[in-house]
Amino acid sequence: MAIMPANSSYPSSFTFQPVLERIATEIAQTPGRGRPADYIPALAACDPRRFGMAVAELDGTVYGVGDWRQPFSTQSITKVFTLALDLAREGDALWEHVGREPSGNPFNSLVQLEYENGIPRNPFINAGALVVTDRLQTRTGDAAGTLLEFLRAESGNARLGFDKDIAASETANGDRNAALGHFMASYGNIDNPVPVLLEQYFLQCSIAASCADLALATGFLARHGIRADGGRLLSKSQAKQINAIMLTCGTYDAAGDFAYRVGLPGKSGVGGGIIAVVPGRCTLCVWSPGLDERGNSVAGVAALDRFTTLTGLSVF
């Protein structure tokens, strides 16, 4: 099937498969794929040449290419799902504890917390994600377990689980996250003991999943808050809010460039994965472990850029 030109209207029978195959061919010919996250020893050995990409339609139909069924370390991608689970439980009260603005600083920065009284800029930098995990822990007693159960249900993959080696590696090298937790606790913005919070947070980030799993699991954001089983997790307004924060804050301090190049709400992780949402149409996940200096997959951003260029599917 021929690839449709940008800005065209797709017939219902359109398949994304030839688009993905073309992107994979182009990416394979691209030099300079970045470097794995070497500050987490368990991720340092990943081959930056690996590449997978999946697209999931609203009805659960999935297309994929390359290593699209290979599980990888989700890392900060999970922050989207934890945010959704907590927002569904406490609503707008969450925003008293974490902001919704881009940080303009690296994802693990301590700089802004002191002069902003322990309130992180957004839920997707590490400080903000710690706050959200803390609040979900208070409401469920097992934030990481609640997240894993949700991902299994939405992806349809009951085999998803924690990678204990990754969690142990992050724990052993987690001094910066511990500092963030203790600093926010000193302002009264953390409810649980910091060691308990860190255990939950590192487990959350260690979940291993494939591009297919994550594209499916993200579907509720393209369906305006509706889960895979037809139940409602979020209001339409809440789904819009999460998509908006993904667009402005989802790729650390490179969110502006990502919005410029890709034009979709997205969330990256230092495991090399990126999820993206085309509201009302489909969801995507791309994985390639080589990162740029800001912690985003080099091949992943390039692939999503090509996807929106080839298909014309963008929020702009």
Residue 12 amino acid letter = S
Selected catalytic residue, list 55, 62, 79, 298: 79
Q: What gap in Å lies between CA 275 and CA 156, rounded to an integer?
A: 17
Please pick, among 19, 55, 62, 270, the residue that the annotation labels catalytic: 270
Quote the CA–CA distance of 295 and 35 in Å, as a whole number.
9
Q: List the structure tokens of 189.
A: 């913005």
Q: How far is CA 234 from CA 86, 99, 239, 278, in A?
A: 10, 19, 6, 17
State yes or no: is 201 an active-site residue. Answer: yes
Helices 126-140 and 78-90 cross at an angle (nearest 10°) of 50
- Considering the candidates 109, 252, 267, 278, report the single residue annotated as catalytic: 252
164 counts as catalytic:
no
Q: How far is CA 299 from CA 29, 127, 186, 308, in A?
A: 11, 27, 40, 14
Cβ atoms 34, 297 nearer than 8 A: yes
**Among 19, 55, 65, 76, the one annotated catalytic:** 76
- Is the separation of the CB atoms in 131 and 98 below 8 Å? yes
Q: What is the DSSP letter of 253?
A: G
Which run of H or of E encompasses 26?
helix 17-28
Q: How many whole angstroms from its chain centre is CA 248?
A: 13
Residues 31 and 175: beta-carbon distance below 8 Å:
no
76 catalytic? Reply is yes
* Catalytic site residue from 55, 80, 109, 201: 201
Closest CA to 211 of 83, 20, 65: 65
Contact assessment for residue 225 and residue 235, using Cβ atoms and an 8 Å cutoff: yes
Active site residues: 76, 79, 201, 252, 270
